[in-house]
């Protein structure tokens, strides 16, 4: 190993979205606001679902888990970014960088798998309505969530262990606001061939399989809705999965948009800016999409607000 490649003494500098001093207060205020809205919105959704017995169904059980994953997802990156701006210190330790990358991969993977499970839930509800409660029993719902956690943990652990085998220069500048896996691999001073193989294979397997499952589920859903004779029946069937479809579209469109924009511009800075869409904006919008398009959630939020007001 080169003397200048001492991983234990490495300093990682998160360059953030902009290095212009006059833009830092604006970025700080904007991201603090979005982070607070994300945490408050998703936490309120979790409390509404858990406090209302009418929402103790598989669909809302998965939604509460998605909201929890979104809170954790944004909490792995935004607080550190805000601290760096406030203290004007861009340094993150090697252990801190690995920890951030591990939890980012964990909760981003959890998001993907939960969206897939929710698509399967809507498929069963619309295509097999009479067997829905039998198929989507509490045991299966718990097992599906446990499996999503297990796969996400193993994947993030694998990627982190693969990074541990790499060596880095004593001062590494990361053109991002968090320790992103691809950036870490690109900035390593040692051979990264095996890391790239694992990263691309994991992306195809853990990204392609869930997307295929979602597309298959919605293909069957559309086919079933098309077979319903009444317009009212079609609208009712579609309305049950409209919110989930909106979130899936938002998540995958922003993720694919980031991939293609980064590939086209070859600019790390533009990739960092584009990643804000799926790391911050999408988790922030999820509770609003569900609460605005779902009458049950609206009623639960009103009941929860009423109970909270009475307790005061």
In a domain, 85, yes or no: yes
pTM for the predicted model, two decimal places: 0.89
Domain region containing 68: 7-302
Residue 193 domain-assigned?
A: yes
Which ranges of the chain does DSSP label H, i.e. alpha helix? 24-51, 58-75, 78-87, 94-127, 132-135, 138-164, 181-186, 193-226, 231-265, 268-276, 282-293, 295-311
Place 134 in a pLDDT band, splitting at 50, 70 and 90: very high
Minimal CA–CA distance to 269: which of 96, 98, 14, 11?
Answer: 14
What Rg, from alpha-carbon coordinates, does the chain have?
A: 21
In a domain, 308, yes or no: no
DSSP of 17-55, one letter per residue?
S---GGGHHHHHHHHHHHHHHHHHHHHHHHHHHHH-GGG
Give the number of other Cβ atoms within 10 Å of residue 108's Cβ.
Answer: 21
8 A C-beta contact, residue 152 and residue 267: no
Contact 49, 294 (CB under 8 A): no
CATH code: domain of residue 165: 1.20.1070.10
Name the domain count of the chain.
1
- Is residue 89 included in any domain, yes or no? yes
Confidence (pLDDT) at 116 = 94
2 inside domain = no
Please give the Cα distance from 280 to 274 (Å, whole number): 10
**Average pLDDT along the chain:** 85
Least confident of 99-103, 110-114, 229-233: 229-233
| pLDDT of 97 above 60 | yes
Comparing 89-103, 137-151, 172-186, the range with the smallest average pLDDT is: 172-186
């Amino acid at each position: 190993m080169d003397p200048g490649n001492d991983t234990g003494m490495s300093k990682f500098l998160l360059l953030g979205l902009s290095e212009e001093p006059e833009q830092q207060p604006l970025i700080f205020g904007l991201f603090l606001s979005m982070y607070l809205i994300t945490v408050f919105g998703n936490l309120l959704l979790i409390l509404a679902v858990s406090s209302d017995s009418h929402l103790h169904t598989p669909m809302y059980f998965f939604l509460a888990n998605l909201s929890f994953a979104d809170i954790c997802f944004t909490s792995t990156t935004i607080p550190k970014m805000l601290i760096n701006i406030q203290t004007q210190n861009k340094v993150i330790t090697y252990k801190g960088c690995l920890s951030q990358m591990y939890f980012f991969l964990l909760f981003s993977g959890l998001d993907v798998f939960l969206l897939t499970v929710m698509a399967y839930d809507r498929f069963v509800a619309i295509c097999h309505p009479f067997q829905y409660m039998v198929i989507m029993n509490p045991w299966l719902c718990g097992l599906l969530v446990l499996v999503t956690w297990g796969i996400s943990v193993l994947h993030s652990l694998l990627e982190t262990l693969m990074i541990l085998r790499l060596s880095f220069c004593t001062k590494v500048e990361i053109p991002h606001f968090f320790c992103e896996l691809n950036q870490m691999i690109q900035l390593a001073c040692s051979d990264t061939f095996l890391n790239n193989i694992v990263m691309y294979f994991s992306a195809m397997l853990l990204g392609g399989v869930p997307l295929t499952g979602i597309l298959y589920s919605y293909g069957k859903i559309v086919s079933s809705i098309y077979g319903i004779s009444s317009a009212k029946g079609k609208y009712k069937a579609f309305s049950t999965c409209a919110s989930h479809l909106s979130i899936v579209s938002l998540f995958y469109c922003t993720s694919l948009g980031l991939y293609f924009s980064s590939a086209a511009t070859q600019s790390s800075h533009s990739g960092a800016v584009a990643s804000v869409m799926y790391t911050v904006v999408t988790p922030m919008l999820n509770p609003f999409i569900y609460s605005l398009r779902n009458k049950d959630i609206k009623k639960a939020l009103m009941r929860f607000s009423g109970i909270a007001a009475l307790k005061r």
